[in-house]
Structure 1
């Protein structure tokens, strides 16, 4: 908030003073053009396909400049930074001195924690389909991005405005490839692709500062929503853990066996290249929006 003294103002100077909004709340693509930052794969990700999925599948069309659009743009830019800027100092969408993130009333997590474990592992609790205990940043992104290449995100409703912003959101995509992951027992879990939609919702309460940067972000959602839709009939194949290799090596072998990926295709997963392009990647909010 800008405070201006009314003393000694001329009549012409008494009009309301408006400050320009930061770019990360006026466009969803603001941080892509940031210079001098450390990008996870050497350059900004390509969200072209995910933005197309968003335009074609969104339920809401928010008015330009509305609080709903501002919140949506802020979260989308934050997601890009959380997924692809590897240096926390480069994140522009957060108040570095006060930023925390928590899920379902759990303990607050720092930005460094999310950078270390990955955005998926920061929001998904261990369950019969997937566990962060048996997956790292790289393997978690491979698991979900390969299964669902584009995962769009939108704000459905905003219940309160700054400094405490409460809103309901939606995350959706299509299960185009088999799900391959590791559950809370370390077993390999495979679910066949059904080609249908995966659509989840949640609620977030975010405190922001005067620059609309995120401070305390608290999100509530049922991560099992997604897994129930991955295997709607509960039909999955589970194979017990047989070795102690790292998560990424186990994932690469599992996918290669399940879908007969070539060494070159496995290499593309490592470099985050899909169909010749670097694609956008994460969840509130998971991935790729």
Structure 2
């Protein structure tokens, strides 16, 4: 068991992963002010939007407008998700507005087919071209593997299969590989065993990132297991926004782990995040007001822990 890290990196994915699952269109102005507030909270990495086809995800049709309008501190690294070369073409028209690009595919054939209508092999073939061009443009690249811990359609996903895909992404130019618990099927024992295995398969030069959902209430437990397995990079979504549209009709996946819940737990454990928790909670409150509904975040409801004394016990 590895020692706990002293500091972690958090990529906020709510503006993309969270917003795209909202049924009602969010006004561009509201998206911009929410992202600006997230940037002012100390979050060092924010996934801003995705250059997908507007008819596929209408919520993100304003990707270019959002990217051009946001105003975050210069030390915040902004990333965009691109599904294919056409999406990359659109993103590169705004190359001076972001720093990283993310690509994605599923570890299971069924989920990949339902999500992007391609086989895993077809997805990898296309992503190699995307990643080569993104690297030429000087962008840092992340490859995200969905259903890395289990698939709602196929069930068990072989860790060896996930490792094989991760190696393909590494060899295609990814600096970082994200492992997605897309529908909240992971458990802490599994997480603790898989990340050291994947680290051994990929080598020390690749950043490994954990992306957990809180579908079955195990999100923070999985974060803790990942920490002890040597992971110091996480993706999360403010307000516990998000989900997965391809999670199976019987069990729709709820949101990502809430960023403020992760930050609160880590900071209480003495692990630095660089995030101003009250400022982050303000962003969640703003999102709640924009969406007009309660959100799943615990800390946004209860507030930060306020210690009157720091005595033992």
TM-score class, shorter: under 0.3
Higher helix fraction (1 or 2):
2
Report the TM-score when normalising by structure 1.
Answer: 0.25
Higher strand fraction (1 or 2):
1
| Larger-gyration structure (1/2) | 1
Report the TM-score when normalising by structure 2.
Answer: 0.23
